[in-house]
Amino acid sequence: MEKLLVTGVAGGVGTRLRKLMKGVYPSIRWSDIRKPDDLAADEEFIAADLSQLAEVEKIVAGVEGIVHLGGYSVEGPWETILQANIVGCYNVFEAAYRAGVKRVVFASSNHAMGFYPRDKRIGINMPVRPDSRYGVSKTFGEAIGALYADKHGLRVTCLRIGNVGDVPLDQRRLAIWLKPEDLLALIRIGLEHPDIRYEIFYGASDNADSWWDNSNARRFGYHPQGNGGEFLHQAMAAQAELPPDPIGDRYQGGPFCSEEYDAGRAG
């Protein structure tokens, strides 16, 4: 990859990746709807609203690969999710296709699968069970990625990211924690592995209590370095400070499942 585009770089994950990816690829163009405050003089940045195709075509021009982190990163009103995560995601894939981009790594989310119970181990071939409008938008991104891979030959990798951070912050995140360096390793597989066509990986480190079978990522050479179990005591101490959540504590998506939950009223 001589020229790479990374969207969503003003967010928390994007900010971490800017530091980790510097020097990994010869040329990286960073983009977001707003300019990061700590942008260095030698970093190329072009602002873009992903819901506007013409703006997306501008940032995609001349790149070989895209890491698509951009969008609305939490639950929100439908119109917000629609424009940022669904229209915006379509625009990224369509602009990539028009520009002859070779590969896209799409930041999907664990919230595409959030309504699986925590006592069920799931792989990549299980049906999606989104826990929110945000989760629905991530299932759309995986589907549009599959369409452009199968119909147009774009090489696409979807990362169902857990929680990126220095340490897991509570009991749920012991299972889904993703060390930033492990995220970079997954991205590099998506951008560089010769056998990638269309793949889904779980974005998680080597966590002892993981709910996910990530053997597909390991098949492509993923060797995670982080292990959430190393932070068990501090994560459980933080968990003890949280109020009980009878719904969220049952499902993998946590509070994304309990927010607006009223299924008990049915039937």
pLDDT digits (tens, 9 = 90+) for 7-48: 999 999 999 999 999 889 999 999 999 999 888 888 999 999
Q: Residue 25: which domain range?
A: 4-261
User: Is 267 part of any domain?
Assistant: no
- The residue ranges of DSSP E strands in the chain, in sequence order, are 4-7, 28-31, 44-45, 65-68, 103-109, 155-161, 163-164, 177-178, 198-203
Structure tokens at 36: 């990061």
User: Is 128 part of any domain?
Assistant: yes
Asked whether residue 264 carries a pLDDT value surpassing 80, the answer given is no
User: Is 36 part of any domain?
Assistant: yes
Task: Give the residue-averaged pLDDT of 85-109.
Answer: 98
Is the sign of the CA dihedral 76, 130, 186, 199 positive or negative?
Answer: negative
Q: Which one is catalytic: 72, 90, 116, 134?
A: 134
Helices assigned H by DSSP within 22-75: 53-60
Band (pLDDT 50/70/90 cuts) for residue 265 is low
Q: What is the mean pLDDT of the chain?
A: 96
User: Is 249 part of any domain?
Assistant: yes
User: Is 266 part of any domain?
Assistant: no
Estimate to the nearest angstrom the gap between the alpha carbon of 254 and the chain centroid.
17
Q: Is 134 one of the annotated active-site residues of the chain?
A: yes
Question: Do the Cβ atoms of 112 and 160 come closer than 8 Å?
Answer: yes
Task: Give the residue-averaged pLDDT of 97-108.
Answer: 98
User: Is 132 part of any domain?
Assistant: yes
User: Is 68 part of any domain?
Assistant: yes
User: Is 96 part of any domain?
Assistant: yes
Task: Give the residue-averaged pLDDT of 204-225.
Answer: 97
Asked whether residue 103 carries a pLDDT value surpassing 60, the answer given is yes
* CATH code, domain carrying 146: 3.40.50.720
Asked whether residue 267 carries a pLDDT value surpassing 60, the answer given is no
| pLDDT above 90: percentage of residues in the chain | 94
- Count of structural domains, the chain: 1
